[in-house]
Amino acid sequence: MQDLNHLRRLEAESIHIMREVVAEAENPVMLYSIGKDSTVMLHLALKAFYPSKLPFPVLHVDTTWKFREMIEYRDRLARDLDLDLIVHTNQDGVAQGVGPFSHGSAVHTDIMKTQALKQALEKYKFDVAFGGARRDEEKSRAKERVFSFRTAQHRWDPKNQRPELWNLYNTRKAPGESIRAFPLSNWTELDIWQYIYVEKIPLINLYLAAERPVVEHDGTLIMVDDDRMPLGGKEPEMKMVRFRTLGCYPLTGAVESNATTLTDVIQETLLTTTSERQGRVIDHDAAASMEKKKQEGYF
Amino acid sequence: MTHQSDLIAEDVVAYLKAQEQKSFLRFITCGSVDDGKSTLIGRLLYDSKLIFEDQLAALEADSKKVGTQGQEIDFALLVDGLAAEREQGITIDVAYRFFSTDKRKFIVADTPGHEQYTRNMATGASTADLAVMLVDARKGILQQTRRHSFIVSLLGIRHVVVAINKMDLVGYSEETFAAIERDYRTFAADLGFETITCIPMSALRGDNILKASEDTPWYTGPALLPYLEAIDVDRDRSGAPFRMPVQWVNRPNLDFRGFAGTIASGTVKVGDAIKVLPSAQTSRVKDIVLYHDTLDSAVAGQAVTITLDDEIDISRGDVIATAEEPPEVADQFEAKIIWMADDALLPGRPYIFRAANRQMPGVVTDLKYKINVNTLDHMAAKKLELNEVGVCNISLDAAIAFDPFQDIAEMGAFIIVDRMTNNTVGAGMIDFALRRASNIHWQALDVDKAERAVMKKQKPAILWFTGLSGSGKSTIANLVEKRLHALGRHTYILDGDNVRHGLNKDLGFTDADRVENIRRVGEVAKLMVDAGLMVMTSFISPFRSERRMVRELVEGDEFVEIFIDTPLEVCAERDPKGLYKKAKAGEIKNFTGYDSPYEAPEAPDLHIKTVDQSAEDCAEEIVRYLEDNGYLAAV
């Protein structure tokens, strides 16, 4: 009898976690960010519940600053897969004109992402939300549980986490409290790429290199995705670039690359010598910044 | 984040193909901060080129700022996660690390070693197949080595690597190594490990980690990483009989009825005869579905959806098993329990037990003994405190299908959840079923509760008076009984003090004894309700969970919780028995309101405030409630 290889093990574990949530939660939701991890999570969910339709809606928090291509891709995918897609934007933030250029990345992310997510969870009364976070991404995530408990104020208390033994997850909670479930906890970035390759999962083209208009901003290449971008007298240049992570376009650094196919991208990723979150402008804060953000409710 | 390989640059497709066949190993590292545990893990990540340039730069900077290795890189910093822990210089929780080689992907559970973190170690061990036990070559086998070995054996780990570390500090002495190996094998002989492998190493210097060290020419065994890449830990699971606890019933339309779950053990093939437990219905496997694929067979660890030839009723928590060798079904067990909460486990207190996709209420009926995790001695105990291990009898509200934990871990493991806080408070492993459950049958009686009640023209119930000592429970209960008696009803009062003179005279006032006190009173009151009586009980009954336990002994409206609400100062001032004075003077211990808590009811059926009304008025209010709610009418 051949043993399961590591990808099949990870797949089975993720499916188990998702089924557990659906069996126990009253009103679960899957957070979908359009990135590669979210895409793998969605693919696993389709597998877990086949031939049933996804037994929960998919939530996208739209900061209004995402790449336009992401929004088109999202809507097409929702149609093709017959998803129950919910898009939420923090309208208070929109009314105040909050954006990354006018308010800086920290305020923008807090209001349009963290606060927006809390609003959406409260508005729809979701009690369990799937997130695509991996433990290998960052040190404080290495200690987060698969079923991570949030107070009624959406706060995470790293010192007071429930012990999590075997595959027996404790899903009990009081009214108002919620759980973030992380089915990809034990995946690494390489596992994600390998799985995309093996399962032939279609990805958004922003991961592939193409000629795109960019300007240099504090040493980072930023794509000029629309005319809200203040150019400061600089002319956008057409460069062969691609993105290693996806988010708000003004906060997502492009990397110069000639990787135009999935295997090129995987090859480049494997040979690269800087870690993944470097491309995200938001993480360049103090040492324990992610832990702090998470205590406040960042995913 | 990967190890470097020339193949990536030359032919990435060939590289990916090769990687697909990688196997998987989860292990736990045990040892204390001083043994170099974090250093070892940091070293494994570093030496397998798993650190990116920017992480390395941060590590170098951190090493100089807060490191313990002078100007050298402090590998431990790579591993110690949360900010608070960094400042204290210890690892508090369970952290998971990932690395892979060409042959295997690894997940390492990194847990702290102090005795107060036993629960963290148990958590990390529960998902591991192997333990790496760090021993400081200068110190040899310590008490904590014994404790860690016991815990990992308890959690079912069968393979142990004893990493005899800091060999550089004992001059790479073969004698030292051999002596420690001998000691370990002697002590671990009874722990049931299948393999024990001792490796001399230095995590700091990298000896015998990736490859054989030149400083230990006398050692002919494998280096750590090659050993971890090669060991086979999967045999047991796939060789065991087939079990799949049903997790979710998949019913998209009338034509498809699938049972989704993760296979706990064994192999299943299309056409296999199966038995569903606990219902004992039988059928055959029609299809094994995994997304667009239908499989001919599936093995332990796979998450699949199974359809059957026959339409039988199966729900979440049922177990689909091979018909030839089905699991046992029982509701009472002997089990080992590790307690994980600050509030002690109390026999008799109801908890939620959660095993293989089912959860149900249950109680520990008997704490047989606890096991000293350092000496393995057995000790008598009335309760189980945080980080203690005990052997208990448990009784569940419903029967479940199970296998002993030793045989199939997934079928014999459970967690214990507190009903009030919803926290995970304990973890357990079933040893065997107690036969008692099937041997004691209920005696069926011809005259039942309803008929007795009709004759007495009342709806029998427990009127549960709760409140502080001196709050007026007994006085008011007495007045209520007089009024009911005058109305021709059949009543009885169970009074706290009176019961302690007889039925419960063996019990004291510790938390454990208080729980048992209430349990017995609850059972007696239940018999009296069955006899058709209105039972008034007058007990402080300070804990919510015990009051709830009694409520659940009887039917919904047969329990009326009456909160006699008198503030502590007023009770202390009245002090009818002089107890408050004694408590204040320190002459009585565990006195409710002073050094033992009173958990006020959150939603009592009746909330009687005694401060502004007389005892007669209070009694009147209770009798009115009974009239208004139909307790005094013929049923």
Q: What is the dihedral of CA B24, B157, B233, B27, to 10 degrees?
A: 30
Torsion-angle region of B392 (φ positive above 0: left; ψ -120 to 50: alpha; else: beta): beta
Average pLDDT of the residues of chain B: 87
Whether B487 and B576 share a structural domain: yes
Indicate the number of domains in chain B: 4
Q: Which CATH number covers residue B154?
A: 3.40.50.300
Question: Which CATH architecture group holds A6-193?
Answer: 3-Layer(aba) Sandwich (3.40)
B20 in A contact zone (CB under 8 Å) = yes
Whether B310 and B342 share a structural domain: no
Asked if residue B545 has pLDDT above 60, the reply is yes
- How many interface pairs between A and B have CB atoms less than 8 angstroms apart? 197
Asked if residue B72 has pLDDT above 80, the reply is no
C-alpha distances in Å from residue B201, one per residue of B43, B73, B162, B165, B229: 12, 19, 10, 5, 17
Q: What is the pLDDT of residue B306?
A: 97
Q: What is the pLDDT of residue A229?
A: 86
* A205-214, B171-180, B356-365, B495-504: least confidently modelled range: B495-504
C-alpha distances in Å from residue B11, one per residue of A177, A266, A268, B18, B387: 50, 11, 12, 11, 52
Alpha-carbon torsion (A266, A270, A276, A278), positive or negative: negative
CA atoms of A114 and A137, how far apart (whole Å): 19
Asked if residue A281 has pLDDT above 80, the reply is no
Residues A19-64: tens digit of each pLDDT: 999 999 999 999 999 999 999 999 999 999 999 999 999 999 999 9
Highest mean pLDDT among A76-90, A276-290, B54-68, B86-100: A76-90
% of chain A surpassing 70 pLDDT:
89
**Do the domain assignments include residue B440?**
no
B92 and A159 in contact by Cβ < 8 A?
Answer: yes
Q: What is the pLDDT of residue B436?
A: 54
% of chain B surpassing 90 pLDDT:
52
Q: What backbone torsions phi and psi does residue A293 show, to the nearest 5 degrees?
A: -60, -40
Tokens found for residue B240: 């065991």
* Residue-by-residue DSSP string for B245-298: E--EEEEEETTEEEEEEE--BSEEETT-EEEEETTTEEEEEEEEEETTEEESEE
CA distance A130 to chain B (A): 18
CA atoms of B379 and B390, how far apart (whole Å): 9
Which of B276, B297, B322 is the last residue in one of the domains?
B322
Q: What is the pLDDT of residue B53?
A: 62
Whether B486 and B582 share a structural domain: yes
A47 and B81 in contact by Cβ < 8 A?
Answer: no
Q: Which CATH number covers residue B292?
A: 2.40.30.10
Q: Report residue B335's pLDDT band, with 50, 70 and 90 as the boundaries.
A: very high
Asked if residue B404 has pLDDT above 60, the reply is yes
Q: Report residue B82's pLDDT band, with 50, 70 and 90 as the boundaries.
A: very low
Whether B149 and B278 share a structural domain: no
Whether B424 and B541 share a structural domain: no
A198 and B20 in contact by Cβ < 8 A?
Answer: yes
Asked if residue B411 has pLDDT above 80, the reply is yes
Q: Report residue A264's pLDDT band, with 50, 70 and 90 as the boundaries.
A: very high
% of chain B surpassing 70 pLDDT:
90
Asked if residue A283 has pLDDT above 60, the reply is no
Whether B309 and B382 share a structural domain: no
- Domain chopping of chain A, boundaries: 6-193, 204-283
Tell me which amino acid residue A176 is. G
Q: If you average pLDDT over residues B388-404, what whole number do you get? A: 93
Q: Report residue B581's pLDDT band, with 50, 70 and 90 as the boundaries.
A: confident
3-state secondary structure of B609: strand
B356 in A contact zone (CB under 8 Å) = yes
A287 and B122 in contact by Cβ < 8 A?
Answer: no
Whether B283 and B421 share a structural domain: no
Q: If you average pLDDT over residues B606-631, what whole number do you get? A: 91
DSSP character at residue A234: P
Residues B5-47: tens digit of each pLDDT: 677 778 888 888 877 788 889 999 988 667 778 788 888 877 6
Asked if residue B341 has pLDDT above 70, the reply is yes
B20 and A194 in contact by Cβ < 8 A?
Answer: yes
Asked if residue A239 has pLDDT above 90, the reply is yes
Q: Report residue A78's pLDDT band, with 50, 70 and 90 as the boundaries.
A: very high
Residues A128-179: tens digit of each pLDDT: 999 999 988 776 677 788 999 888 888 887 777 888 999 999 999 888 889 9
Residue of A nearest to B19 (CA): A194
Which of B322, B342, B359 is the last residue in one of the domains?
B322
Length of chain A measured in residues = 299
Residue of B nearest to A278 (CA): B54
By C-alpha distance, which of B545, B530, B519 is closest to B492?
B530
Range of the domain at B265: 241-322
Q: Report residue B2's pLDDT band, with 50, 70 and 90 as the boundaries.
A: very low
3-state secondary structure of B37: helix
Whether B264 and B127 share a structural domain: no
Q: What is the pLDDT of residue B340?
A: 92
Asked if residue B578 has pLDDT above 80, the reply is yes
Residues B231-263: tens digit of each pLDDT: 988 766 778 999 999 999 999 998 899 999 999
Asked if residue B56 has pLDDT above 80, the reply is no
Chain B, 386 to 425: residues with Cβ < 8 Å from chain A are 409-410, 413-415, 417, 422-424
Whether B397 and B528 share a structural domain: no
Q: Report residue B89's pLDDT band, with 50, 70 and 90 as the boundaries.
A: very low
Residues B516-525: tens digit of each pLDDT: 888 899 999 9
B23 in A contact zone (CB under 8 Å) = yes
Length of chain B measured in residues = 635
Q: If you average pLDDT over residues A199-213, what whole number do you get? A: 95
Catalytic residues of B: 541
Q: Are B20 and A194 in contact (CB under 8 A)?
A: yes
Residues B482-540: tens digit of each pLDDT: 999 888 889 999 988 888 888 888 888 888 888 888 889 999 999 999 888 999 999 89
Q: What is the pLDDT of residue B439?
A: 46
Asked if residue A268 has pLDDT above 80, the reply is yes
CA within 13 Å, CB half, A84: 8
Whether B418 and B458 share a structural domain: no
All residues of chain B having their beta carbon less than 8 Å from the beta carbon of residue A151 are none
Q: How does strand B104-110 pair with strand B559-565?
A: unpaired
A194 and B262 in contact by Cβ < 8 A?
Answer: no
Interface pTM (ipTM) of the complex? 0.89
Tokens found for residue B470: 């001196």
Tell me the three-class secondary structure of B51-89, residue by residue. CCHHHHHHHHHHHHHHCCCCCCCCCHHHHCCCHHHHHHC
CA distance A196 to chain B (A): 11
User: Which among A15, A51, A274 has CB closest to B256?
Assistant: A51
CA atoms of B10 and B29, how far apart (whole Å): 36
